[in-house]
Structure 1
């Protein structure tokens, strides 16, 4: 059955929140639920909806998969502590890198992350907590891209005919699935989340693994993590919908100190969009691009080339894989 969209301009955030809180409470009843918080606007909104509905009957986890941005686990846990929500960090780095070892195909990478997240890590948490439900922040764009075969989003199951109860041992609740990103931002703001959350740029479910072309290793993740921090810092004043650094697989020839330096290439993408269905590359001033390139090749060891993507979505997608 096709999901009925609630466009942002037709969304009454107060009524939507009341309805979803009621739905979550009715579904879980006297039982327990768990959810994963990544710090993005989708998972943050679901976390607040869930705690509003269930209180202590919802257990919130941050899965430290080793592929998040710099200092993300600690920053997110502290932010939600100030909001009255306790978040437990689960160290799963070894499991994720083991699952990604030797995998180069984009869809296989996404599948490895999905399987590790839902079956291994969360399967264990569900068994230990006796929870019957997982709350997650699937939105309509995730469903559209997966069903259309554009790219497999890690958080889409029943729309593909997959029963999470049979596959993983628990049911999944998706209170945001009728919304797109602009609608989720309205709900997040109405839930009392700060601008640093409800205005935060999107971040992919596969995290920085979606920004490494080829095999994902701890060394490559550290390289793209460093480049990401520089990129987000340099472009924050542009107020773009999303910006990112992508690490290419093949080495390219460079020159450093008058000698050949056979190094890596970083691709920068920066987007103007409303709901992520369509996007245009941000027309960044050359001075900013030049400064960004100089910083990355100077500060990120092993990088000798920086490029900027100017292809709109479609035919491009916003993430590389």
Structure 2
């Protein structure tokens, strides 16, 4: 049972000092490794880990082919400025091979989990000599997994899975008592720039969580382009999270007076505090109209754009 520390009750300096000591004690004289995605959780745990271990923490960015446009360059640049070296590991081939032909949402998450932890990270851990993986699991990840809402890729112990036996290394999760608001508070206290600790949440399975059906390179590129447009237009709307979702079936559209079977993008924008519940943001219709016009014009093959108006629950923030 994990005891929650709310953002209001969080004493950041005490938490940082306690968790840094716990990380040092767990790792001992050895090495640890962590994957930086550029999200709030992984960015915060990266700085906390380097505060505790210094050069004995190896930080890598896994280029899985599922990230937003320019993500690797942007994230590596942010952390270079913070004095943290980040190695980019190209694993695109491994992830798309694992996802080939997979359409079931849970099967997709499992394919990503196994590829990340067993194959890609297993090799990196063996090569680095590290015995521990440091990661930014938070309490909401555990809640949703244990409740059976969706399997979060970074939850193991609560499902009875021993990472040491399954993958050959142990996992350290210093943020596990916090929710998103607490993690943002921690990130700020550790010295993350606002562009990072205020970033909207991004799922562990990355854009594969926003493709309904098979996550092929072509379909990921479609949702990647739509994502860039949605994030550009909604950046200042004040919402908790916003995204583009690619639907599976083709829909009937028209171009140049002829029928065109094209793709459908669903836009989602959420008001929430901790992601446990959420309501669709009441965006102005002019904003939605501009989004639709630009997505249809700029993303090849898209003929339809819709907006989700179902709250969580019964909906969820991500589609997959």
Superposed pair shares fold, TM > 0.5: yes
Tell me how far apart the structure 2 counterparts of residues 10 and 279 of structure 1 sit (CA, whole Å): 23
Secondary structure of 2:236's partner? helix
**Is residue 206 from structure 1 mapped to residue 205 from structure 2 by the alignment?**
yes
Aligned to 2:237: 238
Residues 185-204 of structure 1 correspond to what in structure 2 (within 5 A)? 185-204=184-203
**Is residue 118 from structure 1 mapped to residue 121 from structure 2 by the alignment?**
no
Tell me how far apart the structure 1 counterparts of residues 74 and 236 of structure 2 sit (CA, whole Å): 21
Query: Displacement of 1:118 after TM fit?
Result: 0.1
Residues 161-180 of structure 1 correspond to what in structure 2 (within 5 A)? 161-180=160-179
Tell me how far apart the structure 1 counterparts of residues 312 and 19 of structure 2 sit (CA, whole Å): 32
Number of residue pairs matched? Answer: 320
Structure 1 segments (4+ residues) deviating >2 Å: none
Query: Displacement of 1:239 after TM fit?
Result: 1.6
Aligned to 2:70: 71
Query: Displacement of 1:200 after TM fit?
Result: 0.3
Tell me how far apart the structure 1 counterparts of residues 122 and 8 of structure 2 sit (CA, whole Å): 38
| Deviation larger for 202-211 or 232-241 | 232-241
Tell me how far apart the structure 1 counterparts of residues 258 and 161 of structure 2 sit (CA, whole Å): 54
Secondary structure of 2:235's partner? helix
Residues 1-321 of structure 1 correspond to what in structure 2 (within 5 A)? 2-321=1-320
Tell me how far apart the structure 1 counterparts of residues 77 and 184 of structure 2 sit (CA, whole Å): 21
Query: Displacement of 1:257 after TM fit?
Result: 1.3
Secondary structure of 2:130's partner? coil
Query: Displacement of 1:237 after TM fit?
Result: 1.6
Tell me how far apart the structure 2 counterparts of residues 237 and 177 of structure 1 sit (CA, whole Å): 29
Secondary structure of 2:171's partner? strand
Secondary structure of 1:8's partner? coil
Tell me how far apart the structure 1 counterparts of residues 143 and 210 of structure 2 sit (CA, whole Å): 21
Secondary structure of 1:320's partner? coil
Tell me how far apart the structure 2 counterparts of residues 10 and 36 of structure 1 sit (CA, whole Å): 28
Tell me how far apart the structure 1 counterparts of residues 186 and 236 of structure 2 sit (CA, whole Å): 25
Structure-1-length-normalised TM-score? 0.99
Tell me how far apart the structure 2 counterparts of residues 7 and 158 of structure 1 sit (CA, whole Å): 22
Query: Displacement of 1:256 after TM fit?
Result: 1.1
Secondary structure of 1:104's partner? coil
Secondary structure of 2:97's partner? helix
Unpaired stretches in structure 2, ≥5 consecutive residues: none
